[in-house]
Amino acid sequence: MKTNNAKAYAAHSSTTSLTFTPIQRREPGAHDVEMEILYCGVCHSDIHTARSEWGPAKYPCVPGHEIVGRVTRVGAGVTKFKVGDTSAVGCMVDSCRTCPSCQQGLENYCTNGATYTYNSLDGHLNTHTLGGYSSSIVVDEAFVLRVPAGLDLASAAPLLCAGITTYSPLRHWKVGPGMKVGIVGLGGLGHMGVKFARAFGAHVVLFTTSPKKVADGLKLGANEVVVSTDAEAMKQHRSSFDFILDCVSAQHDINAYLQLIKLNGTLTLVGAPEHPLPVSAFSLLGQRRSFAGSGIGSIAETQEMLDFCAEHGITSEIEMIRMDQINEAWERMIKQDVHYRFVIDMATLQE
């Protein structure tokens, strides 16, 4: 298969910094869209993957799955996009398309394993996929998204992961007016959870360990903010929530939040702690509570989310960085020193 050179930043081991690395992208096939990448959000998953914290990574590892760009070429069979269109790519670039999940339009739950934007088997080039910390990408049009007019492109980039990861469970569990909804953690995921839950009409309570984030939580749309280290404040909310979305990727006491769920309510985990979270049976049994998980969203749902964001003026709170600031940005993310998502201006990608 013919390939083209592209510029990228890659990790070459679990312990080394990201460095400039030339990579190969395939020539667009009949149903492919080639994009110049304009902006790429920085997700904590990038760090977990590149540092082999979720299992051995494939190197060189080029992270990035919050991609907004401009179409530069399309294959002869492409019908949804044309050169010059503003487009986007999220966490997936393919799936088996034949399993029951894919047949239902739920490619994110592909039982044969979706092809993720980076660190997955690339069936086209017989290697592994390389993500959005790069100058360009080639993706089948079925996994390319349209960015609606009116969205700020840089601030829209994190919607492709942080946005859909929080939008999907809130939609699935039918969050809406009259419901009391908790959001645990005010980070890249949590701040989007607050915005969506409020936009859906719920009474939103943000839980944070940081008193410094109370004002931000209220500004972003929370009706109430609870500092979770305050035992008395937590006790006041016991057995009162219809739904809680847990957005924390660090180790924490999940039982403290399960006890806040009312009869038949649900706590859904979208954060991905490195180690298992111990769950007490009694946190679930007494009120017939459910503890669930949710993973990103389908392509159709991601497009729905982007359209909803354009209609309601919702984007991520971002800090723009140059490509050569990525290693510093990763260290700041680990220290939770970001409000609330880094986005790389890919025009700064230089050797």
DSSP per-residue codes, 118-182: SSSEETTTTEE---SSBSEEEEEGGG-EE--TTS-HHHHGGGGTHHHHHHHHHHHTT--TT-EEE
Task: List every span in the chain annotated with CATH 3.90.180.10.
Answer: 3-161+297-348
Low-confidence ranges of the chain (pLDDT < 70): 1
- CATH 3.40.50.720 boundaries in the chain: 162-293
Q: Which fold has domain 3-161+297-348?
A: Quinone Oxidoreductase; Chain A, domain 1 (3.90.180)
CA distances from 189 to 108, 144, 162 (A): 18, 22, 5
Task: Show the tokens assigned to 318.
Answer: 């971002």
The answer to whether the peptide bond before residue 109 is cis (omega within 30 degrees of 0) is no
Domain 162-293, second-level architecture: 3-Layer(aba) Sandwich (3.40)
Residues 6+ apart with CB under 8 A from 70: 35, 36, 38, 84, 85, 86, 87
Residues 159 and 168: their CA atoms lie apart, in Å, by 12
- The alpha carbon of 282 is separated from its chain's Cα centroid by a whole number of angstroms, namely 31
Q: How do beta strands 261-269 and 290-293 pair?
A: parallel
User: Rounded to an integer, what distance in angstroms lies between the CA atom of residue 184 and that of residue 169?
Assistant: 14
Measured CA to CA, the distance from residue 60 to residue 54 in angstroms comes to: 16
pTM of the model: 0.96
pLDDT for 1 equals 65
8-state DSSP, 55: B
CA distance linking residue 107 with residue 297, whole number of Å: 8
**From CA 179, how far away is CA 255, in angstroms rounded?**
21
Angle at 338 between CA 309 and CA 156, to 5 degrees: 20
